Amino acid sequence: MGIISSSIARKVAMALSGLFLVLFLGQHFTINLTSTFSPETFNEFSHFMGTNFLVQAILQPVLIFGVIFHFVMGFILEIRNRSARQISYVSYKGSANSSWVSRNMIYSGIVILAFLGLHFYDFWFPEIAYKYIEGNPADATRYYGELVEKFHSPVRTGLYVLSFIFLALHLYHGFASSFQSVGFNNKYATALKKFAKVYAIAIPAGFIFIALFHHFNH
Amino acid sequence: MKLTLKIWRQENAKAKGAMKTYPIDGIEGDMSFLEMLDVLNEELINKGEVPVEFDHDCREGICGSCSLQINGEPHGPDRLVTTCQLHMRKFNDGDTIVIEPFRATAFPVVTDLIVDRTAFDRIQHAGGYISVNTSGNTIDANSIPVNKHDADDSFNAATCIGCGACVAACKNASAMLFTSAKVSQYALLPQGQVEAVERVENMVRQMDLEGFGNCTNTGACEIECPKGISLENIARMNREYLSATSKG
Ligand code: HEM
Ligand code: SF4
Ligand code: FES
């Protein structure tokens, strides 16, 4: 934890873990998208991800560590930042100088965290139980059916859609902001930031599309 | 102009302060915000009350002494000006103006609207200098050519007057804009290279020790800075810091 004791190291760590999650999100989206046009492709990808040794033994633990690191660090920063202003202003006009999303990363983050709880309960825990606890035989065709079944519920579909909106808010500030955090701020960064803003809306919008697609099509 | 002022009054560092309301009349649009407070103080003194204490010195936007959180923004609603340069014509007859001290744990209130900003001095002392002996052996400034772009960026960073508005504006009370301006003005020049590694490490360490918050890139500092110090300086400081730590 040596270097994490400095504010800039924490900032960079936050950015790198965030960027890593953004990459993962893109990959997750690509696989999910196949479920809307080719159940077979979706099953193949899912089976690969679920059974490949490298994915299961390395990528998955790294990802879980990344998520935990990111949100724990997010809470640590929030606590420190609150204590940096113990007496608050009577009148504080944040809207005059900064965007709502940038000031409320912790709240969009908390919604995402709650969503991850639901998401793990929906897919990850049953998956782990199926494979490693009950020790069921490998079945390369079950994934698509499990997915479709989950999105029957209007409540679940609604919660997913809502969470993706908050994910978009989180990324709308976060993705572009992470370039600044790692020290990248020049004319190329300006173009990259535009891409980040588009990505921040497009990917969550895509996830919303997938959720609604399965809800209304089956 | 007739105004209602809501001002933070606090007798001393230990006292519990509170907002107090003062009606005021006869304010001209050409007055500066501080002149408006002078008018109020004259009235208070005439009535035998304790005048409102606030920091000021040059009253022309160069010393960085004046402060004040005015209606929720440091140095008030205008851009690229300090409180001493803020004209009352930016307000309307009948307005209520809330005036508070800059709030940060690292900037404790001394009295009323005066806060202790010596934390900035300590950050500056930790590395905001170059140790070249210039007494008696001054070298011509042009003997080391500097790229115009770098010279301009360095100059712009050096225009930071250390007022603390960046900290006051930031939701995290982060001092990154100030510190990065002080790091950048040297990082961009050949004269600053000798102490580059220690400078950024020591200044950032001091900044953290003072209890300022962590930057989350909201950009509030850049908008509220009376000198237009750019966020690019923060990115530069992050790069400097990363390269310094990688050099050990
Ligand atoms: C699990 C719940 C999460 C919480 C509690 C959370 C919390 C936070 C907080 C408080 C920040 C602001 C800190 C800062 O800007 O320095 C932040 C930044 C960020 N987050 Fe999250 N987050 C969560 C999930 C995610 C996810 C799933 C992603 C990506 C898919 C993500 C991507 C980012 C990015 C890119 C940043 C910007 C880092 C920077 O400004 O340098 N976060 N997060
Ligand atoms: S960076 Fe701007 S706001 Fe901050 S101390 Fe310097 S001049 Fe004031
Ligand atoms: S009094 Fe000097 S900058 Fe305002």
Rounded Cα distance between A34 and A30, Å, is 7
Of chain A, the end-to-end C-alpha distance in Å amounts to 50
Residue listed under structure tokens 């960085």: B64
pLDDT value at residue B176: 98
Out of A87, A102, A183, name the one closest to residue B235 (CB): A183
- Which pLDDT does position B1 carry in this prediction? 95
For residues B15-20, give the mean pLDDT.
97
**Cβ(B210)–Cβ(B175) under 8 Å?**
yes
Q: CATH says B3-111 is which class?
A: alpha beta
Who's near B100: CB < 8 A, 6+ residues apart?
A89, A90, A91, B7, B8, B19, B68, B69, B113
Rounded to the nearest angstrom, the distance between the alpha carbon of A71 and the centre of ligand 1 is 7
Which residue type sits at A69? F
**Are the Cβ atoms of A6 and B204 closer than 8 angstroms?**
yes
Q: Is the pLDDT of residue B57 over 90?
A: yes
Instruction: With beta carbons under 8 A apart, name residues in chain A contacting B217.
Output: 102, 173, 177, 180-181
* Residues of chain A that touch chain B, judged by Cβ-Cβ distance less than 8 Å: 3, 5-12, 77, 80-81, 83-94, 96-99, 102-103, 105, 173, 177, 180-186, 189
Three-state secondary structure string covering chain B: CCEEEEEEECCCCCCCCEEEEEEECCCCCCCEHHHHHHHHHHHHHHCCCCCCCCCCCCCCCCCCCCCCEECCEECCCCCCCCHHHCEHHHCCCCCEEEEECCCECCECEEECCEECCHHHHHHHHCCCCCCCCCCCCCCCHHHCCCCHHHHHHHHHHHCCCCCCHHHHHCCCCCCHHHHHHHHHHHHCCHHHCCCHHHHHHHHHHHHHHCCCCCCCCCCHHHHHCCCCCCCHHHHHHHHHHHHHHHCC
The answer to whether the CB of B206 is under 6 A from ligand 3 is no
Residues sharing a CB contact under 8 Å with residue A155, sequence separation 6 or more, in sequence order: none
The residue extents of the domains of chain B are: 3-111, 118-246
Mutational test site, ligand 3, from B36, B38, B65, B81, max ligand atoms within 8 Å of CB: B65
pLDDT of residue A136: 85
Query: Mean of the per-residue pLDDT values for chain B?
Result: 96
Centroid of chain to Cα A12: 18
Sign of CA dihedral A188, A6, A19, A165: negative
Q: What pLDDT, in 10s, does the model give residues B158-172?
A: 999 999 999 999 999
**Beta strand B114-115 with B3-9: parallel, antiparallel or unpaired?**
unpaired
Q: To which residue do tokens 């079944």 refer?
A: A149
pLDDT in tens, chain A (218 residues): 445 789 999 999 999 999 999 999 999 999 999 999 999 999 999 999 999 999 999 999 999 999 999 999 999 999 999 999 999 999 999 999 999 999 999 999 999 999 999 999 999 999 889 888 888 888 889 999 999 999 999 999 999 999 999 999 999 999 999 999 999 988 899 999 999 999 999 999 999 999 999 999 98
| SS percent in chain A: helix, strand, coil, step 5 | 80, 0, 20
pLDDT of residue A82: 97
**pLDDT per position as a tens digit, B194-233:** 999 999 999 999 999 999 999 999 999 999 999 999 999 9
Tokens 């400078």 sit on residue? B199
Q: What is the rounded CA–CA span in Å between residue B114 and residue B108?
A: 9
Give the whole-number percent of chain B exceeding pLDDT 90.
Answer: 92
pLDDT band at B121 (very low <50, low <70, confident <90, very high): very high
Residue whose CA lies nearest to ligand 1 atom number 4: A109
Is residue B19 within 8 angstroms of chain A, CB to CB? Answer: yes
Closest to B156 (Cα-Cα) out of B231, B69, B235: B231
Residue B248: what pLDDT? 66
pLDDT of residue A1: 43
Cβ–Cβ < 8 Å for A94, A103: yes
Q: Which CATH code for domain B118-246?
A: 1.10.1060.10
pLDDT given for residue A139 in this prediction: 87
Of A185, A189, A167, A174, the closest CA to residue A73 belongs to A174
The b-or-e profile of A94-116 (16+ CB within 10 A means b, else e) is: beebbeebbbbbbebbbbbeebe
Task: Please state, in angstroms and rounded to a whole number, the distance separating the CA atoms of residues B125 and B119.
Answer: 10
The pTM of the full predicted model, rounded to 2 decimals, is 0.95
Which chain B residue lies closest to A2 (C-alpha atoms)?
B245
* Separation of alpha carbons B33 and B20, rounded Å: 18
